[in-house]
């Protein structure tokens, strides 16, 4: 009698079987496909009642029906409340990036301003990331340009230092920022620590929205200085007041009745969506940013807004008021979750009239225009990629193009750069730099450098594929060079077993003229594209971006090396002794020229250490 093994349950049948064991409690469920791929993450007030709907076969869209058909396993987590389930769902969506969820993309952290309090003379600086520094944080700002503009204003108005502690301690005379009236120079005692502390408190009050009170106090001080005929002091106060007044004039829209809020506006069209976010803090517009979440044509706008808000605030501070162009799905539950997470009352509102409605309408106009621009760019990008496929004989438009270039000066500080482009343009989060480590390379060996870069990149790809990890293969690899470089790359790809990836070499034309580039494909004679071809311009942009990235990486590495002081390499020479040596001899070169006797005269330098320093600069 033969054994008959029942086929494993899938799709709706699997879900129906799972429902029998589910509790009538809140929680989070995951639907998984082949190879454990997470298809969807959802939350429910009652897991049993929610999941059974998938087993009944009544779906709003064909997309959900397809998702159910792909389901091979399910996982469940029971939570204490529906609010806890929502917070867990948000976290899992951001972590797992399921195929069928609305997904926030390009979720970078925002820059902030911090008044660092770890030093008697507080430092004003830009900050991004976790709040690990002791001090007061203000933000978020939508972009680096927004925060830089505000920092410039604060320096003009409050004269706070931006230098590092080491620079502060080493100053013997005021720096250039003091000369251009951007710093009060507490480092050299031109202002007492107590008076400097007063400036810090004024800056904090301004950033907390008390700008009118700060400006009124400055105006009173200016009047008093003028009455006492201290005209220079009065002029300085006048300049500081003008700097603060410029904040309101430089931004397009500043609310009069709103101290702190984030404004979200959603515009969806043709299966794409844009969410425009404006930040208002301290009664000022601190910038805006457009997001393009991954959505489906069948997704309801309210569901998109609700999912977006949850993922957006997963790792960001939540303001007291959130204004939206449409009411998000489960608005009250989201507001309750935000209140629980932030520890203070959070309100989510869709304003109907007044200034708040004007702010939302302004954000909606920006969302509509941003989506229009992106859709136009996407259409043009698709045509360009189709042209690339035709020019190089690819099976279809490439989704991922990797472009490689090297940069060095006579072989020193050599680096390789990889940029990535695709249907959405340059994917800067995917850029990679490679510090050239080969010790057997001769200076300027471009072939050897390219070998090392490609070995490391595609060696890692092969290893990830062997370990069953998610490995990303390019559809096209562009390298800077002719048939020689192409041949070297093909040898490496063949050794690694990935020679099915298309390789194209791009060589500059005679006299390096743009428009006369030659393209090299293995096994074919080189060819050129029409001088005014849009595809040629696109390929030139890719090559130039790779060149820019490689050169920028090289310059950064070179600058770091140039800043290294040889004294740092001498055992027994710490920051204090290094400072004393530099003060005594002016520079590391001066220390190198000094005799043992002169070195020993420096405070903290013993006879033995003087001999060690002297010998260090004369070894070999």
Give the tens place of pLDDT for each residue, 133-161: 888 888 788 877 778 878 887 888 888 89
CATH number of the domain residue 424 falls in? 3.30.420.340
Q: Is residue 47 part of a domain?
A: yes
- Rounded CA-CA distance 496/137 in Å is 49
What pLDDT was estimated at residue 445? 66
- Looking at residue 346, its pLDDT comes to 94
Residue at a domain's end among 561, 578, 604:
561
- Residue 503 has a pLDDT of 92
| Mean pLDDT across 432-445 | 69
Q: Which of 96, 129, 145 is the last residue of a domain?
A: 96
- Segments forming the whole domain that contains residue 352: 261-373
Torsion angle defined by CA atoms of residues 521, 523, 524 and 528, in that order, rounded to the nearest 10 degrees: 20
Count Cβ atoms within 10 A of the Cβ of residue 323 and give its class: 0-12 exposed, 13-18 middle, 19 or more buried. buried
Same-domain check for residues 302 and 219: no
The reported pLDDT for the residue numbered 93 is: 93
Question: What number is the average pLDDT over the span 94-122?
Answer: 86
Looking at residue 39, its pLDDT comes to: 94
539 with 422, same domain: the answer is yes
Number of domains in the chain: 5
Residue 104 domain flag: no
Structure tokens at 497: 């077993």
Predicted confidence (pLDDT) per residue in 330-387, tens digit: 999 999 999 999 999 999 999 998 889 999 999 999 999 888 888 877 778 888 899 9
| CA gap 349, 261 in Å, rounded | 11
Residue 513 has pLDDT above 60, yes or no: no
Q: Is the pTM of this model over 0.85?
A: no
pLDDT confidence tier of residue 530, bands split at 50, 70 and 90:
confident
The mean pLDDT of 117-122, rounded to a whole number, is 90
Tell whether 407 and 544 lie within a shared domain.
yes
Q: What is the pLDDT of residue 144?
A: 79
389-431 per-position pLDDT tens digit: 999 999 889 999 999 988 765 545 678 889 999 888 888 888 9
Q: Give the residue from 11, 126, 23 showing the smallest Cα distance to 69.
A: 11
Q: Tell which of 41, 61, 96 closes a domain.
A: 96
Residue 613 has pLDDT above 70, yes or no: yes
Residue 336 lies inside a defined structural domain of this protein: yes
Burial (Cβ within 10 Å: 0-12, 13-18, ≥19) of residue 340? middle
Local confidence band at 41 (pLDDT 50, 70, 90 cut-offs) = very high
Q: Are residues 406 and 540 located together in one domain of the fold? A: yes
pLDDT band at 436 (very low <50, low <70, confident <90, very high): confident
Strand runs labelled E in 95-240: 112-116, 123-127, 135-138
Confidence (pLDDT) at 88: 94
Side-chain-facing half-sphere of 490: CA atoms under 13 Å = 14
Q: DSSP label at 524? A: S
Residue 492 to residue 473: CA distance in whole angstroms: 16
Q: What is the pLDDT of residue 414?
A: 74
For residue 597, what is the domain's CATH number?
A: 1.10.150.20
Domain co-membership, 551 together with 570: no
The enclosing domain of 355 has a CATH number of: 3.30.420
| Within-domain flag for 572 | yes
Task: Read off the pLDDT of each residue in 99-108 and give the average, rounded to a whole number.
Answer: 82
pLDDT of residue 253: 54
DSSP of 50-97, one letter per residue? HHHHHHTT--SSHHHHHHHHH--EEEEEE-SSHHHHHHHHHHHHHHH-
- Cα atoms found within 13 Å of the Cα of residue 291, Cβ hemisphere only: 25
Look at residue 411 in the predicted model and tell me its pLDDT.
Answer: 47
Q: Could you tell me which residue, 302 or 170, shows the higher pLDDT? A: 302
Query: How would residue 504 be classed by pLDDT, with cut points 50, 70 and 90?
Result: very high
Tell me, yes or no, whether 429 and 574 share the same domain.
Answer: no
Say whether both 441 and 472 belong to one domain.
yes
178: in domain: yes
Give the pLDDT score at 82.
93
Does 3 reside within a domain?
A: no
Sign of CA dihedral 34, 37, 39, 45: positive
284 forms beta bridges with 281
Which pLDDT value is given to residue 305? 95
> Based on the domain organization, do 202 and 338 belong to the same domain?
no
SS3 annotation, 218-263: HHHHHHHHHHCCCHHHHHHHHHHHHHHHHHHHHCCCCCCCCCCEEE
Specify the 3-state DSSP secondary structure of 322.
strand
Please check whether residues 292 and 147 belong to one and the same domain.
Answer: no
Domain match, 368 and 325 both: yes
The pLDDT tens digits for 227-259 are: 888 787 788 778 777 777 665 444 445 566 677
In angstroms, the CA 48 to CA 318 distance is 32
Residue where the block lists tokens 């639907």: 31
CATH number at residue 79: 3.40.1440.10
Q: In terms of domains, do 405 and 553 share one?
A: yes
Evaluate whether residue 522 is within a structural domain.
yes
Instruction: Please indicate, yes or no, whether residues 544 and 492 belong to a single structural domain of this protein.
Output: yes
Task: Give the model confidence (pLDDT) of 549-596 as tens digits.
Answer: 888 766 766 666 555 667 777 888 887 888 888 777 777 777 888 888
107 inside domain: no
User: Which pLDDT tens digit goes with each residue over 439-490?
Assistant: 565 655 677 788 888 888 888 888 887 776 777 889 999 998 888 888 888 8
Q: Kindly report, residue by residue over 262-274, the tens digit of the pLDDT.
A: 999 999 987 889 9
């Amino acid at each position: 009698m033969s054994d008959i093994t029942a086929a494993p349950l899938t799709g709706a049948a699997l879900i129906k079987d799972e429902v029998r064991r589910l509790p009538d409690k809140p929680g989070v469920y995951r639907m998984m496909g082949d190879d454990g791929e997470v298809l969807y993450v959802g939350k429910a007030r009652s897991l049993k009642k929610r999941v059974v709907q998938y087993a009944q076969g009544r779906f709003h869209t064909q997309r959900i029906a397809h998702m159910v058909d792909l389901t091979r396993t399910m996982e469940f987590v029971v939570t204490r409340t529906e609010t806890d389930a929502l917070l867990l769902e948000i976290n899992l969506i951001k972590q797992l990036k399921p195929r069928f969820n609305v997904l926030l993309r390009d979720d970078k952290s925002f820059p902030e301003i911090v008044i660092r309090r770890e030093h008697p003379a507080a430092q004003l600086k830009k900050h991004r990331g976790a709040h690990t520094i002791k001090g007061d944080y203000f933000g978020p700002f939508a972009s680096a340009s927004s925060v830089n503009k505000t920092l410039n204003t604060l320096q003009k108005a409050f004269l706070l230092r931006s230098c590092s502690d080491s620079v502060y301690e080493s100053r013997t005379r005021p720096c250039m920022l003091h000369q251009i009236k951007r710093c009060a120079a507490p480092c050299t005692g031109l202002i007492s620590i107590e008076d400097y502390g007063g400036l810090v408190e004024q800056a904090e009050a301004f950033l907390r929205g008390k700008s009118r009170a700060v400006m009124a106090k400055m105006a009173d001080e200016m009047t008093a200085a003028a009455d006492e005929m201290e005209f220079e002091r009065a002029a300085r106060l006048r300049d500081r007041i003008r700097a603060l007044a410029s904040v309101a004039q430089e931004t397009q829209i500043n609310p009069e009745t709103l101290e702190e809020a984030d404004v979200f506006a959603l515009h969806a069209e043709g299966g794409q969506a844009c969410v425009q976010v404006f930040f208002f803090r301290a009664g000022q517009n601190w910038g805006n940013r457009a997001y393009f979440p991954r959505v489906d044509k069948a997704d309801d706008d309210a569901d998109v807004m609700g999912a977006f808000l949850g993922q957006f605030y997963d790792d960001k501070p939540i303001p007291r008021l959130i204004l939206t162009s449409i009411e998000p799905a489960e608005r009250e539950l989201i507001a309750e979750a935000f209140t629980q997470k932030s520890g203070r009352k959070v309100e989510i509102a869709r304003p109907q009239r007044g200034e708040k409605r004007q702010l939302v309408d302004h954000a909606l106009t920006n969302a509509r225009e941003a989506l229009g621009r992106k859709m136009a760019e996407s259409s043009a990008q698709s045509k360009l990629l189709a042209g690339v496929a035709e020019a190089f004989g690819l099976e279809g438009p490439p989704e991922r193009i990797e472009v490689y270039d090297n940069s060095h000066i006579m072989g020193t500080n050599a680096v390789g750069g990889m940029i990535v482009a695709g249907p959405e343009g340059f994917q800067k989060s995917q850029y990679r730099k490679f510090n050239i480590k080969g010790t057997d390379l001769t200076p300027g060996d471009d072939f050897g450098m390219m070998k090392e870069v490609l070995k490391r990149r595609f060696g890692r790809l092969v290893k990830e594929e062997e370990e069953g990890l998610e490995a990303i293969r390019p559809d096209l690899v562009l390298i800077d060079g002719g048939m020689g470089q192409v041949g070297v790359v093909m040898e490496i790809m063949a050794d690694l077993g990935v020679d099915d990836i298309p390789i194209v070499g791009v060589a500059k034309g005679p006299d390096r003229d743009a428009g006369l580039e030659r393209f090299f494909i293995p096994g074919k004679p080189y060819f050129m594209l029409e001088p005014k071809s849009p595809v040629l311009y696109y390929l030139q942009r890719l090559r130039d971006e790779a060149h820019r990235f490689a050169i920028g990486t090289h310059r950064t590495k070179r600058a770091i090396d140039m800043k290294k002081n040889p004294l740092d390499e001498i055992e027994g020479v710490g920051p204090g002794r290094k400072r004393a040596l530099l003060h005594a001899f002016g520079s590391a070169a001066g220390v190198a020229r000094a005799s043992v006797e002169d070195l020993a005269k420096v405070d903290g330098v013993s006879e033995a250490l003087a001999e060690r320093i002297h010998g260090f600069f004369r070894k070999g």
